[in-house]
Amino acid sequence: MDLAIEAQGLVKTYPRDVRALDGLDLSVRTGTVFGMLGPNGAGKSTTVKILTTLSRPDAGQARVAGFDVLRQPDEVRRAIGVVGQRSGVDRDATGRENLRLQGQLFGMRGKDLERRATELLERFGLAEAGGRIVKTYSGGMQRRLDIALGLVHEPQVLFLDEPTTGLDPEVRADMWAEIRRLTAEHGITIFLTTHYLEEADALTERLVIVDRGKIVAAGTAEELKGELRGDAIHVELAEPERDGEVTRALETLGDVREIQVDGQTLRARTDDGARAVPVVLQALEAHGVRVASVTVSRPSLDDVYLRHTGRSFTEAESAAAAEDQERQKHQEARR
């Protein structure tokens, strides 16, 4: 099997004992779109930093495009394109100047470089804007230029670190189309991180879910969802459970599994949602539990996440945001 990326036991700890990666293993096959899904602070960016030679792991090893990231960083850099989470374009230069410098750093020169720049500007719908200062670009245009920069030297592996974060839905849809086109036309390997479940679902062939620096699940989106077997039932209760009566009501039903009650929210799983709903409602009513709403859905990656980490994706996101704020406060205080 031909691997574009392989990593074993990556560990990275930042000052103040923040353990960003806690023994992470990866293997990505050449020519596929690989997704890394997780909330903010799960370790996605740290993984990208290590695989792209920006940062050194405390332990573990990794090879990208056949080269060791620690011992052959220059070879790795030549083989990869990186589109960072923050746009790395020079905002005081034109689109073409950005592409030109990027190409020069990869040893491209003269007519070939100009031709390549023109080609990329056209391809990313920036032909007319190419001579304008990037400051005048819209968010979507800037993001497209970011990707163009990552592709100047025709890399074998392209890293996209949260490529659509902060973009409005329309621009995001364009970006998805662009990413699909890249793999279809060029057979390039793409390593994509995202905290959007639907993005991982839509774009990636294989994906891993990371939480707190560890991989908690791996497979295709379908496999991961398939593991969950059956539909998700989601019930909003009119009032919070008092002492286990909800669980008691459903336990005896047999084909309702994985019952979780969290305040006024009840989640459970069943093989056939449509058939189970009336039965569940009846059982709840019999135990004196009033129901506000019921929904039945096919398993989503959100459910996969919940199943493997014990918390919902949104919860994890807000927890990470709170931690982030806390860390920033500390940093401010230090100054």
Binding site for another protein (CB under 8 A): 49, 52-56, 74, 77-78, 80, 82, 84-93, 97, 101-102, 104-107, 133, 149, 335
**In angstroms, what is the minimal distance from the CB of 69 to another protein?**
11
Q: Is 49 or 269 the residue whose CB approaches another protein more closely?
A: 49
**In angstroms, what is the minimal distance from the CB of 329 to another protein?**
16
Q: Within 10 Å of residue 159's Cβ, how many Cβ atoms?
A: 24
Query: Which of 86, 84, 95, 83 lies closest to 135 in space, CA to CA?
Result: 95
Q: Is 82 or 268 the residue whose CB approaches another protein more closely?
A: 82
**How many helical (H) and strand (E) elements, i.e. helices and strands, does the chain have?**
12, 14
Q: Is 20 or 249 the residue whose CB approaches another protein more closely?
A: 20
**In angstroms, what is the minimal distance from the CB of 106 to another protein?**
6
**In angstroms, what is the minimal distance from the CB of 74 to another protein?**
5
Q: Is 101 or 279 the residue whose CB approaches another protein more closely?
A: 101
Q: Is 50 or 249 the residue whose CB approaches another protein more closely?
A: 50
Q: Is 92 or 236 the residue whose CB approaches another protein more closely?
A: 92
**In angstroms, what is the minimal distance from the CB of 173 to another protein?**
24
CA distance 139 to 155: 24
* DSSP bridge partners of 82: 159
Q: Is 290 or 335 the residue whose CB approaches another protein more closely?
A: 335
User: What phi, psi does 27 have (nearest 5°)?
Assistant: -145, 130
**Radius of gyration of the chain from its Cα atoms, rounded to whole angstroms:** 23
Q: Is 102 or 270 the residue whose CB approaches another protein more closely?
A: 102
Query: Which of 63, 80, 60 lies closest to 71 in space, CA to CA?
Result: 63
Residue 269 has what DSSP assignment?
E
Q: Helices 95-105 and 139-151 meet at what angle, rounded to 10?
A: 20
Dihedral sign from CA coordinates of 79, 83, 85, 90: positive
Q: Is 97 or 174 the residue whose CB approaches another protein more closely?
A: 97
User: Residue 147 belongs to what H/E stretch?
Assistant: helix 139-151
CA distance 98 to 115: 14
Q: Within 10 Å of residue 184's Cβ, how many Cβ atoms?
A: 8
Query: Which of 81, 20, 32 lies closest to 221 in space, CA to CA?
Result: 32
**In angstroms, what is the minimal distance from the CB of 33 to another protein?**
20
CA distance 236 to 71: 55
**In angstroms, what is the minimal distance from the CB of 45 to another protein?**
10
Close Cβ partners of 113 (under 8 Å, ≥ 6 residues apart) = 100, 103, 104
CA distance 198 to 304: 12
Contact between 124 and 145 (Cβ < 8 Å):
yes
**In angstroms, what is the minimal distance from the CB of 243 to another protein?**
52
**In angstroms, what is the minimal distance from the CB of 15 to another protein?**
8
